[in-house]
Structure 1
Amino acid sequence: MKVLVPVKRVVDYNVKVRVKSDGSGVDIGNVKMSMNPFDEIAVEEATRLKEAGKATEVVAISCGLSQCQETIRTAMAIGADRGILVETDAELQPLAVAKLLKALADKEQPQLIILGKQAIDDDCNQTGQMLAALLGWPQATFASKLEIDGGKAIVTREVDGGLETVALQLPAVVTTDLRLNEPRYVTLPNIMKAKKKPLDTIKPDDLGVDVAPRLKTLKVVEPAKRSAGIKVPDAATLVQKLRLEAKVI
């Protein structure tokens, strides 16, 4: 069973981003970039499937600038066997990424695609669902547990009311949640091995995909600063302020 794992290069989750002065976006100059945490979980899960003998090959895919090669190398250090970079400097939106992944899936013929439920930079939570729709494959989102049983994927997913378990006929698309696993620490020997693994670079035109953006960002602003708290002498004053000033009761 071949497993495709899309990975995205994003600003590291420990970095506090700054909005550009013109409000056109966030400033990512000279900031640490890393793999999207949800995608890291996806790579770990695919690697565990390979170690358990359920998968035969894990292929890491990234779309974007040439620097995305570092993200693919990280995925290969975790356990991916090879990588594919769809290199472009265009602004990639979820639909364009889904179309690129669909073209690669048609070419690679995987039995399973595992990807993070969302990226921490745009929080769209759309690519996995769009990809499943384009491929016509069953999908399971927000997976907290994944098992492969014959030609089926048994997925436990988190819903508002608790947990839901679904069975998908392979090939299928699965998006990962935080509680699916804890990614392993990448060791130096594995980083060195990853440098020798094959990494192919192609262009969107090679796949026949138009990646022109469909949406336009009008303005980006920082969240409103939280106002300072106050102390009240008694419960009656608290209720009065909640009713008259905060207007929440």
Structure 2
Amino acid sequence: MNIIVCIKQVPDTSEVKIDPVTKTLIREGVPSIINPEDKNALEEAIRIREKYGGKVTVITMGPQQAEEALREALAMGADEAYLLSDKAFAGADTCATAKTLATMIKKLEYDLVFCGRQAIDGDTAQVGPQLAEQLGIPQVTYVKEIKVEGDSLIVKRTLEDGYEVIKVKMPVLLTATKELNTPRYPSIKGIFEAYREKEVKIVTASELGIDPQEVGLKGSPTRVIATTTPETERAGEIFTGNVKECVQNLVQRLVEKHLI
């Protein structure tokens, strides 16, 4: 089974800062990680390959530094990796991102495409569904459980008030939630192979054969007007003492603020 996993390198959200002038994320000096739910997607892809055979390919779009995310994915157990990196891809919204990823995926053989449910730096949950539309394949989102049955999948997806079970024929795109599994840590052997033996293939816009006007900022219908972080207006208060004293103090403060 050929499985493709789309991952994204994102800033560690505990470290995110906003430029007060440009209203964009300050990425310099900020630690980057693989988007958490993309790791769940990768873990599930590796588990399926281990059980049924095949190949796991990871793809990301980003600057050269995104190669680190792909190396980590290779260390976890992915077989090959592609980095879509070109100035023409910069500033892409979810629509342009999906188009670029789809153009690459169409050049590969695949039975199953995985994405994380959403990225922690944007929280749109749009790239997966838009990618499925670009590829012309069915999609199942918010996946928490998967069972392979011949050329089909039995998928359990999370709903606000329960879950839904769907049978879908491959090829199909799935978006993974954190409930799907617990991602593994790379092994020493996996790390060695990822950095010494395996290759991250760099792909540019010209190599993709894609029109620069249809990707990146030029191909993005979305425009971000402003980005802000919540301001803390007052300091928090910590109550000390036993449970009864803390509850009494809390109730008193709530009464003083006319909240109860």
TM-score (norm 1): 0.89
Q: Separation in 2 of the partners of 1:125 and 1:10? A: 14
Aligned to 1:140: 140
Match of 2:170 in 1: 170
Give the conservation status (yes or no) of the 8 Å contact 1:24–1:217. no
Is the 1:9–1:34 Cα contact (8 Å) retained in structure 2?
Answer: yes
SS in 1 for 2:48: helix
Q: Which residue type is aligned with residue 218 of structure 1?
A: I
Question: What code does the residue aligned with 1:73 have?
Answer: R
Per-residue deviation at 1:77?
Answer: 0.7
Q: Count residues with an aligned counterpart.
A: 239
1:206 to partner: Cα distance: 2.4
Residue aligning to 1:199: 200
Cα distance change of structure 1 residues 151 and 25 upon mapping to structure 2, 3 Å threshold: same
Matched residue SS, 1:154 = strand
Aligned equivalents of 2:105 and 2:252: distance in 1?
64
| SS of residue matched to 2:78 | coil
Local SS of the residue matching 1:19: coil
CA shift in 2, pair 1:170/1:232, >3 Å:
closer
- Please say if 1:87 is aligned against 2:60: no
- Determine if the alignment matches structure 1 residue 225 to structure 2 residue 232: yes
CA displacement 1:194-237 (0-9 Å, x = unmatched): 121132111123221521322222211111326457855499x4
* Distance in 2 between residues matched to 1:222 and 1:50, nearest whole Å: 41
Q: Structure 2 matches for 1:63-102, cutoff 5 A?
A: 63-89=61-87, 90-102=90-102
> What is the SS of the residue equivalent to 2:107?
helix
Distance 1:56 1:77 in 2: 17
RMSD of the alignment, in Å? 2.1
- CA contact 1:78–1:186 (8 Å) conserved in 2: yes
Structure 1: runs of 5+ lacking an equivalent: 244-249
Q: Which residues of 2 match residues 1-249 of structure 1 at below 5 A?
A: 1-13=1-13, 15-53=14-52, 55-89=53-87, 90-195=90-195, 196-207=197-208, 208-209=210-211, 210-213=214-217, 214=220, 215-225=222-232, 227=234, 228=236, 233=252, 237=255, 241-242=258-259
Residue number in structure 2 paired with 1:247 = none
Segments of 5+ residues of structure 2 without an aligned counterpart are: 238-248
Q: Which moved more, 1:109-118 or 1:84-93?
A: 84-93
- Cα offset, 1:31, TM superposition: 1.5
CA distance in 2, matches of 1:113, 1:45: 11
Corresponding letter in the other structure for 2:180: L
- Cα distance per residue 1:48-102 (max 9 Å; x no partner): 011112x400001010101111111111111110111111241222111211221
CA contact (8 A) 1:64 1:92 kept: no
* Counterpart-to-counterpart distance in 2, 1:125 and 1:19: 22
Query: In the alignment, which residue of structure 1 is the partner of 2:243?
Result: none
Are 2:97 and 2:216, in contact at CA under 8 Å, matched by a contact in 1?
A: no
* Structure 1 residue 153 displacement after superposition: 1.4
CA-CA distance at 1:16 after TM superposition:
2.3
- Give 1:41 deviation, angstroms: 0.9
Which range is displaced more, 146-155 or 215-224?
Answer: 215-224
Q: Assess if the C-alpha contact under 8 Å between 2:15 and 2:30 holds in 1.
A: no
Alpha carbons 1:153, 1:167 under 8 Å: kept:
yes
Runs of 4 or more consecutive aligned structure 1 residues displaced over 6 Å after TM superposition: none
- Counterpart amino acid of 1:211? V
